[in-house]
Amino acid sequence: MMMLKVDNLVVRYGGITAVDGVSLELEEHETVALIGANGAGKTTTLHTISGLLKAAGGKIFFQDEEITKVPAENLVARGVVQVPEGRQVFAKLTVEENLRLGAYLQKNKQVIRANHEKVMTLFPILQERRRQAAGTLSGGEQQMLAIGRALMSNPKLLLLDEPSMGLSPLMTQQVFDVLLELKKQGMTILLVEQNAYEALTISDRAYIMETGNITLEGRSSELIHDPRVKDAYLGGDL
Amino acid sequence: MSAEYIISQLINGLRLGSVYAIVAVGYSIVYGILRLINFAHGDIMTIGVYIMLLFMTSTGMPLWSVIVVSVLVSVIVGVLIERFAYRPLRSAGEEATLISSLAVSTLLQNLLQMIFSPQKKAFYLPDFFTQQHQFGIVKLSTMNILTFAAVIIMVIALTLVVQKTKIGTAMRACSENLDASRLMGIKPNQVIVFAFAVGSGLAALAGLMLAGEYKTIDPLMGFVPGLKAFCAAVVGGIGSLYGAVAGGLVIGVAEMLFAGLMPTSVTAYRDAFVFVVLIVVLLFWPNGIFGRSEGRRS
Ligand SMILES: Nc1ncnc2c1ncn2[C@@H]1O[C@H](COP(=O)(O)OP(=O)(O)O)[C@@H](O)[C@H]1O
Ligand SMILES: [Mg+2]
């Protein structure tokens, strides 16, 4: 089944066009990377898919139903869940409260408990920090919390916006290990990254984005050897 | 000037401050979520009082049910104002809704003047409320005691709601990060309506306390106390529940001490004095006493 289809998406901030005709697709169980430099329009694309921003043109489909105009708060229940750039955990709320908010729309207590257990198994550190304010966690721990909170929403499609941003190499590795684990469990993932090497390593396919456009797309295993990608995103000689 | 006189002025200040505190909470919870200073909030007090007067004089309903009706009507008016005067302007920015709130304030005042006449009206509560009780050197009416009790109950109840309930957690989430809250499936409009409902209901109660104190009411009576309650919310740190209460008490006590201790030639400036207190506090605590430092949200 086609999980996500973005068709010729255009997004503007006032007069500035930030996303200019982007099309992309995700099959169920696929992990797809969206790679691009700062300011390319990656976050804008994710925010529009999530319904935080309005599209000026184009269409978005989730599981073959159009969601172009569905606002963010109504999309979560359908399984489109975003882990936002810069984590955006609720700093003054406890770790536990943050996780509960992930399950805000979930009425079934058993499902909540099962997801909670899953998150705690995936991120044992969150168990230890349960009662702490989220703002007191390290950057890496906050990223774990942001992912854990998203998993509490029962995602069918997980959108991650630069989960490795600002993390130490060790923490980055841990985050990608978790993503790999989720991928193994069958999650459909759209991963936005500037960290092209890691993103291409764990993804099945990738899109390269430059100033509002997709300039290149293909299998990640091939793109990782593509000279154009190497020069621009992999520091030349990886 | 005797110590007893100063103590009685202090108590008067706490009484007045309690009313400010109850109104200030409404400013604060709305500001916390929307970054909107709702200047019509003080006039909701007036609406509540006129509804009470209307039902007290034209029906034989017992007072408690008149109070319930007044609170309900005020809640509905507050929620309608949000729906029709603020929500459509929300995407136009904070300045637009701020100006809209000033317009709504003027509109409500004029409407009340048209419907009930601009004249002052007597507002008598049953003897039960005005009965005086002596506590040592302090004399308090039943209404005063109820006012203190109302503040305490309000603080406990709101703390429980904000800390323990789902809508309370959603409120805290929205006041911290609106977009992230939407990504959780929280509907900001639901939270905003809840904040306006709580604030407006509390304003109606505060109006009752104020009218019981002054024994007369008029269509403009809520505006200046509303501004002072806004000062209280800022003094305490706008967005903070405990700050609003602390700020209310500080402003009330400062105002009554000024009115009671200064020569009569300057006590006419007690309203201006409240704004001086505001400025002085902000010089030392730019975010208010309990305030958090944060910029405006874009
Ligand atoms: N709120 C905004 N208002 C105006 N322009 C914006 C806003 N957010 C992003 N932009 C602009 O849109 C373009 C794309 O930004 P963004 O989607 O954040 O890129 P990326 O996530 O790839 O770094 C950039 O040129 C950026 O300056
Ligand atoms: Mg970005």
> According to CATH, where is 3.40.50.300 located in chain A?
1-79+158-238
Of A72, A77, A153, which has the smallest distance from its Cβ to B182's Cβ? A72
Where are chain B's structural domains?
A: 3-115+133-284
What class has domain A1-79+158-238?
alpha beta
pLDDT in tens, B169-205: 999 999 999 999 999 999 999 999 999 999 999 999 9
Domain B3-115+133-284 indexed as CATH 1.10.390 = no
Instruction: Give me the residues paired with residue A13 across strands.
Output: A16
pLDDT given for residue B138 in this prediction: 82
Cα separation, A148 vs A98, whole angstroms:
9
Predicted confidence at residue B293, as pLDDT, reads: 59
User: pLDDT digits over B233-287, tens only?
Assistant: 999 998 889 999 999 999 999 999 999 888 988 888 999 999 999 999 999 998 8
pLDDT of A236: 52
Measured distance CA(A67)–CA(A76) in Å, rounded:
12
Whether B295 has a pLDDT exceeding 50, the answer reads no
Q: Which residues in chain A come in under a pLDDT of 50?
A: 237-238
φ, ψ of residue A25 in degrees (nearest 5) = -140, 145
pLDDT tops 90 at residue B290 = no
Which chain B residue has the Cα nearest residue A146? B180
A153·B185 Cβ contact <8 A = yes
Range B41-50 average pLDDT: 97
Q: What percent of chain B has pLDDT over 90?
A: 74
Report chain B residues whose CB lies below 8 A from the CB of A115: none
Expressed in angstroms and rounded, the spacing between residue A234 Cα and the centre of ligand 2 is 18
Taking the CA of A34 as reference, the closest ligand is 1
Task: Answer yes or no: is the ipTM higher than 0.90.
Answer: yes
Q: How far apart are CA B191 and CA B76, in angstroms?
A: 15
Q: A84, B186: Cβ pair inside 8 Å?
A: no
CA angle B109-B113-B114, nearest 5°?
120
For the CA of A211, the nearest ligand: 1
pLDDT at B94 over 90: no
Comparing CA positions, the residue from B126, B102, B110, B99 lying closest to residue B47 is B110
Nearest CA to ligand 1 atom 7: A13
3-state secondary structure A40-52: CCHHHHHHHHHCC
Burial of A193 (0-12, 13-18, 19+ CB in 10 A): buried
**pLDDT of B294:** 53
Inter-CA distances, B100 with A6, B78, B125, B146, B161, Å: 39, 14, 35, 34, 29
Which of A74, A92, A153 is facing B172, going by the closest CB pair? A92
- Note the pLDDT of residue B135: 86
